[in-house]
Chain A
Amino acid sequence: AQTVTQSQPEMSVQEAETVTLSCTYDTSESDYYLFWYKQPPSRQMILVIRQEAYKQQNATENRFSVNFQKAAKSFSLKISDSQLGDAAMYFCAYRRGAQKLVFGQGTRLTINP
């Protein structure tokens, strides 16, 4: 069974600085998707960034980028120029095809002004 592990329950960063959230996963498949979701206090789950496993190039979305290491089964999220609005729970998730999404335990990110 696929598992997703986020080893950092909490992280904090100063506003305007850079922070990296870690995620590792376990799978025997070669074709799959990886995601980072953000959950602010409003509870709404918001997709931050997505990576297709067959793509070697790391995905980027404005201030958000990933470091995808397929052989190491690692998928970290880097947030540059952190803003107060980035404070939230962040969940790493794995999905293969049309199958269910498997989530990590989450990392709570605090932004210090």
Chain B
Amino acid sequence: NAGVTQTPKFQVLKTGQSMTLQCAQDMNHNSMYWYRQDPGMGLRLIYYSASEGTTDKGEVPNGYNVSRLNKREFSLRLESAAPSQTSVYFCASSDRLAGFGTGELFFGEGSRLTVL
């Protein structure tokens, strides 16, 4: 019952360093998402992939890139980390049946990133 798995769970970076957050789901879901969570802001969508081979920007895409490697995996890359990217990052996935599906997102456990 792995569900959605994110790695790493914690990471400390220096300004300007790069890193990739990995996400994998084993539920055969079509759609995958990356959110960031900041205090008092709720969760905000960074990028999403409605299906394998497609990616789209969300609310706060600047400073990030994504890759939908295959149906299972969706990675988030910070090319040059900035202190403003200190946050908790969540990967999520959902099914998409006949255009609508059940609507539920399944979340990973989150990755806490600190940029000094």
Contact = CB atoms under 8 A, between A and B. Distances in A.
B88 A98 contact: no
25 contacts: A33-B103, A35-B103, A43-B88, A43-B109, A44-B109, A44-B110, A45-B105, A45-B107, A47-B105, A50-B102, A50-B103, A50-B104, A91-B42, A91-B43, A97-B99, A98-B31, A100-B33, A100-B48, A101-B45, A101-B105, A103-B43, A103-B44, A105-B40, A105-B41, A106-B40
Interface string B96-114: 1001111111010110000
B50 interface: yes
Interface of B: 30-31, 33, 35, 40-45, 48, 50, 58, 88, 90, 92, 94, 96, 99-105, 107, 109-110
- The residue in A35, A47, A98, A105 that gathers the most chain B C-beta atoms within 10 A of its C-beta is A98
